[in-house]
Structure 1
Amino acid sequence: MASSFQMCEPCFRGGEQTQGVSWCSDCEEILCAFCEKAHRVAKLSKSHAVVHLEAIKSVKVERIADMNICEKHLGKNLEAFCTSHDSLCCSSCVFEQHKACEKVLALDEASVGIKSSAVVHDVQRSILVVIDAYDKILQNQKKNKETLAEKETSVKMAIANLKSKVNKHLDSLANSVSIIRDESLLKIEKNCQTILEKRDNLMTHKKNFDFLREHGSESKLFLLTETLKKELTVNDGSIQELLSNIKTQSITFSSLQSDLSAVASVCLEEEPLNIKHEIGILNRAQMVKSTTSLKKDAFIDLGFDEPTPLTGIEVTEDNRILLCYWLNQSVLILDKNGKFILKEDVDGDPYGISLIPHKFQAVISMPEAKKVYILNSSNLKYIRHFKTLNECYGIVVLDNNIYAGSSGVISVIKINGQYLRSISLLPNCSSIRYIYPMKDGNLFCTSLHNIFITSVDGTILSTNGYCDEPRGIAIDKNGHVYVADKTSHKVYRFNADGTKIDNVLHRTGQFESPHSLRFNRDHTKLYVGFVKSNFLGVFSCS
């Protein structure tokens, strides 16, 4: 396309300079009045979409023009659409990846009727939904900036009222308020910048989409629609991540005048954003979701004299492996390659284990002793413990609270051991053996003979009995849930809604009675613990 949007491009190629008045989205050229008239009656171009130049002022025509270029094979035009993989293809794509696909359509054939199709409606609605979600998060962050300033003033006034008694201490607290405020404002500014970039990019897509829907050709709209389906999938994931990671921040002040050594404190309080985001095209687009393939890598001999149930596996930020050996009263650390680092005996039989986020600490359930044990996740040294009301097996830390599963109940406990509440589950529900937090905030659980999903308020969202004795849970990078079944000697894979997909591992050789599961941090390895062997199974993921 010529650099000037005012000059008729066919005339320019013919050596003349005439004023352009319209634009053909099929040819991607500016036309003068004479060329436009000829364009509208010529047999090859009479069906082209031609609009006045005023209509394209708000549209980045360069981005529309580049849509037909294959991202994998630069310089090749997209010419086909594979309905099996929901994928746009150039000729090289078809030859390399889609030769065996049953239905690969030419682009013109695939795009017939796209303007009136449900998928265009879904994409249009999803654009608005995603932009609205970005706007709400942005509005929340801007408001949070204001409330932080207000909270700073009120907290500093409270500190000033106590200065006469503990002047030095309160001066320190006043300084910490500003530090917390600055760190929080920096985080909010970073969040706002990220959100604005994503929102602005989507607004550009929206303008192009609206333009093509009204004035563009069906093939161009089809190209943009397919591009936007994937863009919106990425944006939906970005919003879920933002809603999960961004917290509404506040500064609070509390005092205890009876003890001058701890008369006051300043801390940052965070709570999840009260914003609901409806995932749009993810629930409607016909896409083939990728799945993880597992291949045996190694069985690591852990050196116990007798078979010891490996019931808990956790992986640290640096990919070290923490192992709980039930009935052996010991916890182990291996490096990321499975090499032994440390073994520590503990006062009880450890069952489940979960890391406390942003601290070098882990919580361990000890059902027989009715207690939760907290240790240093770097050197396994004891920190503290507290008693529980029931025998707790499954354990996980979520939003700085401990969720501990027992018979028909999940207890919610503060890290310091303060009991908060109980989540009552299914009638006659046996002990909750494992709990795993999902991205949507719900809990995926296994009991002695059932699998179920519950919200944190106790609403059962799904339940099934696909497994004989389901135990350990892990979730891969695609959101699929893996459950070990120790009786059938299998590991099953489920969708996030609890529906079964397939079984990915089964009894063979040393693989017998799987009990605990965990992926490493980058989801390149799956670790499997067993009931009746002294091995840690390692499976490579691809």
Structure 2
Amino acid sequence: MLINKIKDELNCHANDFQELLSSQKDVSVSFKQSDLQFVMKSQGSVEIKQASIDVKYQLCKIQQAQCLQQQIKLPSKFLLDVRFSVPYSNLVGISVSKDNRLFVCNHFNSSLFVMSDKGKTLETVQMDGKQWGIAMEEDKNTVWVTLPQKQSVQSVDMLTMKKRRLIKVPSCDSHLYVYGIAIIDEQIAVGGFGKIHIISKTGDLKKSLEVGKSLVYSISVGHTHQLYYAQADTGKSTLKSVKLDGTIASICAEGIENMTDFKSDKLGNVYILESTSSNLKLFSFENKSLKTILTSKDGLKGPYGLAFSKDFSKLFISNCTAGEILVFLCNQK
């Protein structure tokens, strides 16, 4: 904290020191002998020469460890690695930590599951109701989940595994639920009926974005700071996004059936789950195409949630009513 506080002052000192060095001169004094015919009149003169000092100095920033530019690699092929069941569960939203712990929402009862990527149950947190959507703030050791029937969100401390108080989502009618969730600009975006509510982490309503008259099942933050949203109960729909100013844009013109969850990568591609047809589709941002990459033949059976590991080396998909998780290894290009 001290170094961070004085870093600007150190940078100023470094710049001042560099300017000081460049202005310094190497001064030498030498005797210049006169011709013999002027010996009686003068003993000579003093000559002053100046030359730049050859002192090598490197700025502090140059001496610091430099960030390496990592090439972005994206999944190209998927190979089923592990398949495991979770008793007494309807598995929906998934989020994955840096150490590959799975936080899996359960719409069967109040148990939020924390599991290894091999299927071992590490923790079970008893929430205040059935869960649906999940968003992770790993730098704050916090996961946020929606409790649809409570019209609320609730957070869990990832270190202590203790749940925190319920936060009621404002402006929700008594008969409506909340489903999708995402974190944007240190605020929470929550999907309701025909709206995405932007609330503070203490529950204050900031704004409500109108997105059409159906439930928002899933929300994901896009690479250009927009919110993708899925409305699964509309049957066939198109992939759309909305900005925080309320501007809606159509991302993909092709119809997608019962879109329940999706994730975008750093290049703007979107991986989309279709629950009824049990497909995983990929929307390519580069050529605006939509193609199927996983089907029921690959083990998908009513999928409701998906997540990638932080390095995109693994893909996790939840088969809701089957109560199972599929783990795919991703070959990257």
TM-score range, shorter chain: 0.7 to 0.9
Question: 1:180–1:400: structure 2 CA closer, same or farther, 3 Å change rule?
Answer: farther
Q: Does 1:393 align with 2:210?
A: no
Separation in structure 1 between the aligned mates of residue 150 and residue 83 of structure 2, nearest angstrom: 31
Q: 2:297 — aligned with what? A: 508
Question: 1:355–1:446: structure 2 CA closer, same or farther, 3 Å change rule?
Answer: same
Tell me the secondary structure at the aligned position of residue 103 of structure 2: strand
Question: 1:498–1:419: structure 2 CA closer, same or farther, 3 Å change rule?
Answer: farther
Answer yes or no: is the 8 Å Cα contact 1:475–1:481 preserved in 2: yes
Answer yes or no: is the 8 Å Cα contact 1:375–1:384 preserved in 2: no
Q: CA deviation at 1:394?
A: 0.5
Structure 2 counterpart of 1:462, one-letter code: S
Question: 1:506–1:382: structure 2 CA closer, same or farther, 3 Å change rule?
Answer: same
Q: Does 1:461 align with 2:245?
A: no
Tell me the secondary structure at the aligned position of residue 508 of structure 1: helix
Q: Does 1:411 align with 2:192?
A: no
What pairs up with 1:4-403 in 2 under 5 angstroms? 181-182=5-6, 292-302=76-86, 304-305=87-88, 308-388=89-169, 389-390=171-172, 391-403=177-189
Deviation track 1:208-258 (CA, whole Å, cap 9, x = no partner) reads: xxxxxxxxxxxxxxxxxxxxxxxxxx89x99xxxxxxxxxxxxxxxxxxxx
Separation in structure 1 between the aligned mates of residue 254 and residue 329 of structure 2, nearest angstrom: 28
Q: Which runs of 5+ in 2 are unaligned?
A: 15-59
Answer yes or no: is the 8 Å Cα contact 1:301–1:536 preserved in 2: yes
Structure 2 counterpart of 1:327, one-letter code: F
Answer yes or no: is the 8 Å Cα contact 1:394–1:404 preserved in 2: yes
Separation in structure 2 between the aligned mates of residue 185 and residue 441 of structure 1, nearest angstrom: 34
Structure 2 counterpart of 1:328, one-letter code: N
Question: 1:379–1:441: structure 2 CA closer, same or farther, 3 Å change rule?
Answer: same
Structure 2 counterpart of 1:375, one-letter code: V
Answer yes or no: is the 8 Å Cα contact 2:303–2:319 preserved in 1: yes
Answer yes or no: is the 8 Å Cα contact 2:222–2:228 preserved in 1: yes
Q: CA deviation at 1:482?
A: 0.6
Aligned residues: 270
Q: CA deviation at 1:361?
A: 1.1
Q: Which moved more, 1:395-404 or 1:463-472?
A: 463-472
Tell me the secondary structure at the aligned position of residue 216 of structure 2: coil
Question: 1:535–1:404: structure 2 CA closer, same or farther, 3 Å change rule?
Answer: same
Q: Give me the CA root mean square deviation.
A: 3.1
Q: Which runs of 5+ in 1 are unaligned?
A: 1-175, 199-233, 239-288
Separation in structure 1 between the aligned mates of residue 262 and residue 146 of structure 2, nearest angstrom: 16
Q: CA deviation at 1:421?
A: 1.3
Deviation track 1:169-220 (CA, whole Å, cap 9, x = no partner) reads: xxxxxxx8x7764478899x9xx969xx99xxxxxxxxxxxxxxxxxxxxxx
Q: If each structure's helix is expressed as a fraction of its own residues, which one has the higher value? A: 1
Q: CA deviation at 1:309?
A: 2.4
Q: 2:231 — aligned with what? A: 447
Question: 1:327–1:497: structure 2 CA closer, same or farther, 3 Å change rule?
Answer: farther
Q: Does 1:517 align with 2:306?
A: yes
Structure 2 counterpart of 1:446, one-letter code: A
Q: If each structure's strand is expressed as a fraction of its own residues, which one has the higher value? A: 2
Separation in structure 1 between the aligned mates of residue 8 and residue 283 of structure 2, nearest angstrom: 39
What is the TM-score with the length of structure 2 in the denominator?
Answer: 0.72
Deviation track 1:492-526 (CA, whole Å, cap 9, x = no partner) reads: 10124894431111012742111100001111110
Q: 1:34 — aligned with what? A: none
Answer yes or no: is the 8 Å Cα contact 2:82–2:118 preserved in 1: no
Q: CA deviation at 1:328?
A: 1.7
Answer yes or no: is the 8 Å Cα contact 1:320–1:336 preserved in 2: yes
Q: Does 1:424 align with 2:210?
A: yes
